[in-house]
Every structure is written in structure tokens, then in C-alpha cells.
């Protein structure tokens, strides 16, 4: 079942809960207890082909195949880097592209997922931002990234234990679908979820302040903020979303989130040569962090054709880090994995989409309707 036209009216298997599936099965004249068997195949075994559900009668397998949408995106390309990361470019039912990155570490395996095709927020250092916005991903399309990556690493004896929403798109701009997805990821397997720890699922936002507070009410997961500058004029230059929610609003939202969840915040800070990593910017960052429980990930910019920025020298990086360390702010320098496969946000899909002739018209909305 591959066409969007054929599947549009059917419920997707990854968005059916036990009550909904039981009702559906009963409407087909099947016993309700079969719902548990089907859901175990989906959530525990990550099996998305009803024909392979061997403990179900053939007639039921046929009805499942016909009555439910089992679509998983096509793997358009899979690029492995020498550092253990694999970047997947996935083609959705609508023919658009999203990307996911598997990151292998010695004792854990992480998955970076996309939440939108494109992005409205137009950050000046980001390939996805240059593309503009196409559409939100449905919850099942985000969950499909986890299912597919899990099945890929299973043969290596690995399990995806961590998820970060740092692929294409601003997750809090696709709020309801992201919350639905995070809840499914955190639900125990016995309750038909992926059983991940709430410390291991991280929503990373560019700073949609009101949604940060709403997130704290709706779901308990980890939070990362792409900060990149702690002075309003500079941050607005790098991230136009800052015009709508400047640093004072953002800090208030982070403080609320922290009070409500008790969690520590990760601040992502890309270091860009001659832009945001001098002594002045280090002092501004320290001031912004004051009063928050936060760590900073320092990420030297990954130079990319078409983006007018460069990576700073090692001396500049060390000086910036030292300024934070001397004030007891943990600030490890992270070298993004998968550089050779364009691991930075949205870069692989950006290349692919630029290569296609039929590009949907770009909605260049600089934070205009971000909620
Ligand atoms: S960095 Fe994130 S929020 Fe900014 S344009 Fe890129 S995808 Fe959107």
C-alpha cells in the first residue's frame, strides 16, 4: 500500500490506541482481544506488515492489510559516515523528503528525528531554514522514523535508546503531533509505546516561548534550546524567531519550564567565527544563564557551501569555553557527528530538494505564524 490516495482515509497503525483498534476489529466481526496481539506486533516487534503477524488468522491479516494504513516511508538514501552515524533520507507518502540520523556511541544509540518538511523559522546558519516550509509531519511519520531506525540497528544488537528532535523543522511549531509522538515514545512497551526514559527524549526548540511552558504541562521530557547568541540584536540576526520572542521572554519561559519539571536545560550554542564567540558574547551568555540550571553544548560551526559563516579557530573556541568553565558552567565542545554526510540540521534533505525540479512554492514565513 504505497499511494497516499489509497491510504488517506484509513487510520494509521502507529496512531491507533487499544480502544480504537478494538472498536475497529469488532466492527469487522473480529474478537476484541486480537487488538492486543496486533499492538504487540507493532510496538514491541516494530512489525508493520500484517502478513508477517504469524499468530493471527489469515483472514484477519487480510482485513488488517486492507483496513489500516501501514505505510512506512521509502529509504531514498542511506549514507554512513566513518564516525558511526548514518543519515537516512526518507520519502514520505506525499513524495516529500524528511531525514533522520542514527548516531552510534559506545554504550548508546541515538536517533535525531525531523518534525516538519522544511521550516518556517529561517535561521541564517541553517540549510533547512533556506528551503522554507512545506508541511508538518503527522505523528505516525515521526514515529515511523523510530520504527525504521530501530529495525535497521537491531541486527547490530543495538536499540535506539535516545531520541532528539533536532532534524528538519521546529518541533514546537508542530506542537500537537510532537506531543503525541513524545507520549508514545515514553509509554512503556506493555502499554504499547517505545518505553524510552523521559530523560532520553529531548525536544529541541529555537525558542517558541509560550509553547515551552505548555510543553512542561503536557509531557515530561528533556528540553534543549538553540540559543546561539545571548544579545537580542545578534540573536535576531542569526535567528529571526527572536524578534517575536526575545531573550527576556525566552528566559522567563525557561525558568517556568524548569520550575514545573525540575529538569536541567541544555543550551545549544553554535560557535561562528567573528560572530558570536568573542569575550563580549561569552559574558552575555553567562549573564543569560544566571538563575537557570543549564549546561551548554558548544558546537563549532560546520562550514557549508551557500552559508556565509566559518568555523572559529581552536584558540577562540578554547577561550570561550574557558570563560564559561571558570564560572562553573559545564560547556563541552561537541563536534557534530556525521560531518561528511552533512549531519547539520536539514542539510541532506536540503540538497535533495534543491536537486528536484518540482519544488513546491516556498512559504517564506519568518516566524510569522509560529505559535
Ligand atoms: S535551525 Fe531549526 S528552527 Fe532554525 S531554520 Fe533550521 S530547522 Fe528551523
Reading the block at residue 208, the C-alpha cell is 517558541
Q: Can you name the residues that pair with 90 across neighbouring β-strands?
A: 75, 98
- Given a cut of 80, is residue 350 above it in pLDDT? no
* Same domain assignment for residues 20 and 88: no
Stated pTM of the model: 0.90
Q: 121: CA distance to ligand 1 center in Å?
A: 6
328 in any annotated domain: yes
Residue 268: beta bridge partners?
226, 297
How far is residue 259's CA from residue 269's CA, in Å, rounded to a whole number? 23
Distance 89 CA to ligand 1 centre (A): 17
pLDDT of residue 127: 82
**Ligand 1: which atom is nearest the Cα of residue 125?**
1
Mean pLDDT in residue range 344-353: 51
- Summarised one tens digit per residue, pLDDT across range 47-104 is 999 999 999 999 999 999 999 999 999 999 999 988 889 999 999 999 999 999 999 9
Closest among 22, 6, 20 to 70, alpha carbons compared: 6
Quick one: 201 and 226 in the same domain? yes
Q: Which of 131, 135, 93 is nearest to 116 (CA)?
A: 135
- What integer is the mean pLDDT of 176-199? 97
> Comparing 100-114, 231-245, 321-335, 343-357, which segment has the lowest mean pLDDT?
343-357
- Shared domain check, 59 and 202: no
SS3 per-residue string spanning 5-64: HHHCCCCEHHHCCHHHHHHHHHHCCCCCCHHHHHHHHHHCCCCCCHHHCCCCCHHHHHHH
Q: 61 and 79 share a domain?
A: no
Tally of structural domains, the chain = 2
Is 369 among the domain residues?
A: no
Best probe residue, ligand 1, of 99, 100, 169 (max atoms within 8 Å of C-beta)? 169
- Choice among 257-261, 309-313, 346-350 with the minimum mean pLDDT: 346-350
Residue 2 lies in a domain: no
CA distance 332 to 296: 7
Question: What residues line ligand 1, using a CB cutoff of 6 Å?
Answer: 119, 121-123, 126, 128-129, 168-170, 206, 345-346
Active-site entry in 15, 30, 99, 268:
99
Q: Which three cell numbers stand for residue 119?
A: 521550516
Number of residues that make up the chain: 371
**CA triplet 359, 360, 362: central angle to 5 degrees?**
105
Q: Is the pLDDT of residue 281 over 80?
A: yes
Instruction: State which ligand 1 atom lies nearest to the alpha carbon of 120.
Output: 8
Q: CA angle, corner 226, sides to 364 and 248, nearest 5? A: 90
Q: Ligand 1, from 131, 169, 204, 206: best to mutate by most atoms within 8 Å of Cβ?
A: 206
The pairing of strands 162-165 and 109-112 is parallel
> Are residue 33 and residue 78 in the same domain, yes or no?
no
Contact 303, 309 (CB under 8 A): yes
Is 345 catalytic? The answer is: yes
pLDDT of 367: 23
**Which pLDDT does position 341 carry in this prediction?**
46
Instruction: Please say if 99 is a catalytic residue.
Output: yes
pLDDT digits (tens, 9 = 90+) for 129-139: 888 999 999 99
* Nearest Cα residue to atom 4 of ligand 1: 123
287 and 140 within one domain = yes
Does 224 map to a domain?
yes
Confidence of residue 347 (pLDDT cuts 50, 70, 90): low
Least confident stretch, 8-12, 21-25, 207-211, 234-238: 8-12
Least confident of 174-188, 251-265, 329-343: 329-343
Cell of 155: 541486527
Per-residue pLDDT tens for 138-147? 999 999 999 9
Is residue 201 a part of any domain in this protein?
Answer: yes
How many Å lie between the centroid of ligand 1 and the Cα of residue 52? 39
For ligand 1, the distance from its centroid to the CA atom of residue 260, given in whole angstroms, is: 26
Distance 336 CA to ligand 1 centre (A): 16
Return all residues near 81 (Cβ < 8 A) that are at least 6 apart. Answer: 87, 337, 338, 339, 340, 341, 343
In the predicted structure, residue 5 carries a pLDDT above the cut 60: no
Q: Average pLDDT of the chain?
A: 89
Calculate how far, in angstroms, residue 283's C-alpha sits from the geometric centre of ligand 1: 25
The number of the ligand 1 atom at minimal distance from the alpha carbon of 119 is 8
Under the banding of pLDDT at 50, 70 and 90, the label for residue 303 is confident
Q: Cα(230)–Cα(246) distance, rounded to whole angstroms?
A: 10
> Is the predicted pLDDT of residue 348 greater than 80, yes or no?
no
Output the nine-digit C-alpha cell for 252.
522567563
pLDDT of residue 352: 53
Cell (9 digits) for 283: 559574558
Q: Residue 88 has what DSSP assignment?
A: E
Testing ligand 1's pocket by substitution, the residue of 97, 120, 126, 228 carrying the most ligand atoms inside 8 A of its CB is: 126
| Residue entry with cell 504499547 | 192
Residue 147 near residue 14 (C-beta atoms within 8 A):
yes
Rounded CA-CA distance 117/350 in Å is: 10
Locate 110 and state its grid cell: 541515538
Together in a domain, 30 and 130: no
Based on the fold, state whether residues 159 and 211 are members of the same structural domain.
Answer: yes
Q: How confident is the model at residue 364 (pLDDT cuts 50, 70, 90)?
A: very low
Same domain, 29 and 105: no
Query: 113 and 146 in contact (C-beta within 8 Å)?
Result: yes
CATH of the domain at 244: 3.20.20.70
Mean pLDDT calculated for residue range 350-362: 39
Query: What mean pLDDT do residues 172-193 have?
Result: 97
My answer on whether 78 and 133 are in the same domain is yes
Q: Do 35 and 100 lie in a common domain?
A: no
Residue 319: is its pLDDT beyond 70? Answer: yes
Kindly write down the DSSP assignment for every residue of 207-268, as one continuous string.
--HHHHHHHHHH---EEEEE---SSHHHHHHH-THHHHS-HHHHHHHHHHHHHHH-PPEEEE
d(CA 35, CA 153): 27
Query: Do residues 340 and 347 make contact, with C-beta atoms less than 8 angstroms apart?
Result: no
Domain span at 57: 13-67
Q: Which of 212, 129, 200, 221 lies closest to 168 in space, CA to CA? A: 129
- Pair (102, 206) in one structural domain: yes
On whether residue 58 sits in a domain, the answer given is yes
The domain spanning residue 30 has which CATH number?
1.10.150.530
In DSSP terms, which residues pair with 99 in a beta bridge?
89
pLDDT of residue 360: 30
Of the residues 119, 123, 221, 345, only one is catalytic, namely 345
Q: Which atom of ligand 1 is nearest to the CA of 170?
A: 3
Residue 371 lies in a domain: no
- Determine, yes or no, domain membership for 269: yes
Q: Tell which residue, 248, 229, 321, 227, has the closest CA to residue 291.
A: 248
**How far is the centre of ligand 1, averaged over its atoms, from the C-alpha of 258 (Å)?**
23
Q: Give the mutation target among 115, 121, 238 for probing the ligand 1 site: most ligand atoms within 8 A of CB.
A: 121
Amino acid at each position: 500500500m504505497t499511494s497516499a490516495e489509497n491510504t488517506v482515509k484509513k487510520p494509521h497503525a502507529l496512531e491507533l490506541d487499544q480502544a480504537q483498534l478494538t472498536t475497529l476489529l469488532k466492527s469487522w466481526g473480529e474478537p476484541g482481544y486480537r487488538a492486543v496481539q496486533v499492538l504487540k506486533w507493532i510496538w514491541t516487534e516494530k512489525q508493520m506488515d500484517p502478513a508477517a503477524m504469524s499468530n493471527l488468522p489469515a483472514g484477519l491479516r487480510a482485513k488488517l492489510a486492507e483496513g489500516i494504513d501501514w505505510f512506512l516511508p521509502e529509504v531514498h538514501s542511506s549514507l554512513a559516515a566513518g564516525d558511526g552515524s548514518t543519515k537516512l533520507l526518507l520519502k514520505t507518502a506525499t513524495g516529500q523528503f524528511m531525514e533522520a540520523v542514527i548516531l552510534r556511541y559506545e554504550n548508546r544509540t541515538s536517533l535525531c528525528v525531523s518534525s516538519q518538511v522544511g521550516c518556517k523559522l529561517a535561521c541564517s546558519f541553517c540549510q533547512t531554514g533556506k528551503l522554507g516550509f512545506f508541511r508538518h509531519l503527522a505523528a505516525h511519520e515521526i514515529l515511523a522514523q523510530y520504527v525504521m531506525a530501530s529495525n535497521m540497528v537491531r541486527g547490530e544488537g543495538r536499540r535506539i535508546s535516545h531520541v532528539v528532535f533536532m532534524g528538519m523543522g521546529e518541533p514546537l511549531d508542530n506542537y500537537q503531533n510532537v506531543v503525541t509522538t513524545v507520549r508514545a515514545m515514553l509509554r512503556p512497551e506493555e502499554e504499547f509505546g517505545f518505553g524510552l526514559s523521559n530523560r532520553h527524549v529531548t525536544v529541541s526548540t529555537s525558542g517558541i516561548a509560550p509553547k515551552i511552558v505548555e510543553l512542561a504541562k503536557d509531557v515530561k521530557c528533556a528540553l534543549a534550546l538553540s540559543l546561539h547568541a545571548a544579545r537580542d540584536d545578534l540573536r535576531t540576526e542569526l535567528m529571526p524567531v527572536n524578534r517575536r520572542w526575545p531573550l527576556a521572554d525566552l528566559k522567563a519561559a525557561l525558568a517556568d519550564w524548569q520550575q514545573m519539571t525540575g529538569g536541567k536545560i541544555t543550551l545549544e550554542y553554535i560557535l561562528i567565527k567573528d560572530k558570536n564567540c568573542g569575550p563580549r558574547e561569552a559574558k552575555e551568555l553567562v549573564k543569560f544563564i544566571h538563575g537557570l540550571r543549564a549546561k551548554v553544548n558548544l558546537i563549532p560551526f560546520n562550514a557549508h557551501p551557500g552559508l556565509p559563516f566559518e568555523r572559529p579557530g581552536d584558540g577562540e573556541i578554547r577561550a570561550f569555553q574557558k570563560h564559561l568553565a571558570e564560572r562553573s558552567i559545564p560547556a563541552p565542545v561537541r563536534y557534530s557527528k556525521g560531518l561528511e554526510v552533512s549531519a547539520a540540521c536539514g542539510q541532506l534533505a536540503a540538497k535533495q530538494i534543491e536537486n528536484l525540479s518540482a519544488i513546491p512554492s516556498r512559504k517564506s514565513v519568518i516566524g510569522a505564524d509560529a505559535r
